Amino acid sequence: MIFIAIDVRELAPPEPMTAILQALSTLPKGDGLRVHHSRQPFPLYEQLTSAGWEYECEKKAEDYFLISIYRQQEKPT
Amino acid sequence: MSLAGLSFNALPPIRLPFRFFITAPIFILLCTGLIAYSGPDLWLGRWQPPMLALVHGFTLGFLTMVMLGALLQLLPVIAGIGIPHPELLAPLTHGLLSVGTLMLLWGFLQFHSSFILAAMWLIAIGLGIYISALFWVLIKHISQGDSLLGFRLAISSLLVVVLLGLALLGRYLGIEWIPPSKHLTNVHALWGLVGWAGILIIAVSYQVIPMFHVAPSFPLIVRRFLTPLIFIGLLLSIALPSYSLPALSLLQGLFALVLLLVIHRRKRKVPDTSIRYWQLGASALLLTSVLFFIPEGIWNEYLDIDKTLLLTALFMYLYLMSIIEGMLLKILPFLSYTHLQQRCLIDFTAMQYIPNMHEFFDKRHGQWLFYSHVISGLILIWVLFQPSYYFIFAIALVLESTGLLVIMLKTMKLYFAVDKKISQAAKDRVEPPTASFKNT
């Protein structure tokens, strides 16, 4: 699976969510999205699973999170 | 740390915080009526019944109302947690607190024991439900950082304020749970202003300033130790007020300085009314802290005004109210936008219906509200020196609270209009409009 990366760490809310939504809406089938974020986007998590997406979050530092998002049926191996 | 696929369901419907927010300026309007009706005598001292009514109208009706509404949404956004059964508990707390506060104000003004008794029950149950729900959820998430520690301490402070407030009200009814003591009234006020409101604002600022303004995090030592130290200072204030009050004042001054520094170092230096509110609040807090250390002798020689009254007015109106009004201007459009964005994950085509963020909040209206708050704050200080000009403060307050109410109503109206449009579009896709044919 190829991950397309976006960095939203320098954006103020609600711009990170807008950028993520735009990236997901154009994400090619079979690809995933990797988001470099300054915090955990909890409101995004709320709807991801019910909208058919899977996500993983890795904490890199106090203010640096790496969030991988992909379609539920396309879990990377 | 890795979080994979956790099921969050914490963000309650936006109409729940909306009802708290919309009630708050209505209480300010009621307070304005009280100021206009009571005349200049209201400002002669803090123990006047109309002053007690005014202070509780402001603290319960405005400050607490907004903070309870904001917590409903801020906890899910910044920590991914929310209170259980919000659809049941939030309206219950809102209703009981609103009616209870009205009863309390009327009870203070009329010395009416049955109103005081009703207020005690309504406020105790209303806030008790909310405090229990928050404790339950905050205890479950024990290891979630410095802001949550602050939230726990703020909620604990609210519990102390409510219990002490009930005991003080009990004395009106001849129930002597506590001895007659102005000191305990001071402790009640201190825990309310510095504990419940003050600690909560500090905890919220740790998250909100870096998040909304792309500013650096607050220094770790401040995040870790400031709110616990304030809480210890509050505990000491019960037995050793002469030692704890200077310490608390120093800690507040320290927070004001760090807040100004963090704001100054923000990366995103675009003009922002919300930031100006934070700067105004921090400056007022710093001034309050400095004025506290002027010895009584020098104060009485140069200033013909009760020191506690002036410091409390600065703290409540130009610090607490500035921050809360500025926060409302920031979180109301943000929450509206976030709720609508959430719907787009299910259906990306809905993104076309969401207007620009600026349409949820007109920056010029925010600026007018900010200037009206600065002007009303200066008039308040003037009225403390010259009570006969009270009506000018009442007029300024009417203009400001009406402005706040109109701004909030406009944002909410736009939210519901867009929400309806998205729902209609989704419905039309599922059930395409059917053409009707007439047999001729």
What is the C-alpha to C-alpha distance for residues B325 and B75, in angstroms, rounded to an integer? 19
3-state secondary structure at position A5: strand
End-to-end Cα spacing for chain A: 8
Contact B337 A59 (CB under 8 A): no
**Rounded CA Rg of chain B:** 23
Q: What is the pTM of this model?
A: 0.91
Q: Compute the count of residue pairs across chains A and B with CB atoms less than 8 Å apart.
A: 93
Which residues in chain A (31-60) have CB-CB distances under 8 A to chain B?
A: 38-40, 42-51, 53-59
For residue A14, cis peptide bond before it (omega within 30 degrees of 0): yes
- pLDDT at residue B25, as a whole number: 97
- Cβ neighbors of B431 (< 8 A, separation 6 or more) are none
Residues of B in contact with A48 (CB under 8 A): 345
> What is the structure's pLDDT at A46?
79
Beta carbons of B1 and A40 less than 8 Å apart = no
Chain B residue numbers with beta carbons less than 8 Å from the beta carbon of A50 are 346
Which residues in B lie closer than 8 A to residue A24 (C-beta atoms)? 345, 348
Which of B3, B334, B342 is nearest residue A47 as measured by Cβ atoms?
B342
Could you state, in order of their start, the residue ranges of all structural domains in chain A? 3-74
Q: Do A42 and B80 touch (CB under 8 A)?
A: yes
Whether residue A26 contacts residue A7, with contact meaning beta carbons closer than 8 Å, is answered with no
Q: How does DSSP classify residue B1? A: -
Q: For chain A, state the CA radius of gyration.
A: 12
Strands of the sheet with A53-61, listed across from one edge: A3-7, A32-37, A64-71, A53-61, B2-4
CB nearest B1 (choices: A25, A43, A59): A59
Would you give per-residue pLDDT tens digits along chain B (440 residues)? 444 433 345 688 999 999 999 999 999 999 999 999 999 999 887 778 899 999 999 999 999 999 999 999 888 888 788 888 999 999 999 999 999 999 999 999 998 899 999 999 999 999 999 999 999 888 877 555 677 889 999 999 999 999 999 999 998 888 888 888 889 999 999 999 999 999 999 999 998 999 889 899 999 999 999 999 999 999 999 999 999 999 999 999 999 999 999 999 998 788 899 999 999 999 999 999 999 999 989 999 988 888 999 999 999 999 999 999 999 999 999 999 988 988 888 888 888 899 888 888 889 999 999 999 999 999 999 999 999 999 999 999 999 999 999 999 999 999 999 999 999 888 887 776 555 444 43
Is the alpha carbon torsion for B28, B32, B33, B34 positive or negative?
Answer: positive
Q: CB–CB of A57/B4 below 8 Å?
A: yes
pLDDT in tens, B225-276: 999 999 999 999 999 999 999 999 999 999 999 999 999 999 878 889 999 9
Q: CA-CA distance, A58 to B2, in Å (whole number)?
A: 5
**Contacts of residue B100, Cβ cutoff 8 Å, sequence gap at least 6:** B60, B118, B119, B121, B122, B123, B126
CB distance B346 to A47 below 8 Å: yes
- The architecture (CATH level 2) of A3-74 comes to 2-Layer Sandwich (3.30)
Q: For A37, name the nearest residue in chain B, comparing CA atoms only.
A: B211
Question: How near does any CA of chain B get to the CA of A74, in Å?
Answer: 14
The full set of domain ranges for chain B reads 15-140, 146-265, 271-418
Place of tokens 């109103």: B115
Q: What is the DSSP string of B304-361?
A: -S-HHHHHHHIIIIIIIHHHHHHHHHHHHHHHHHHHHHHHHHH-GGGGGGSPPHHHHS
A38 contacts B5? CB cut-off 8 A: no
Amino acid at B371: Y
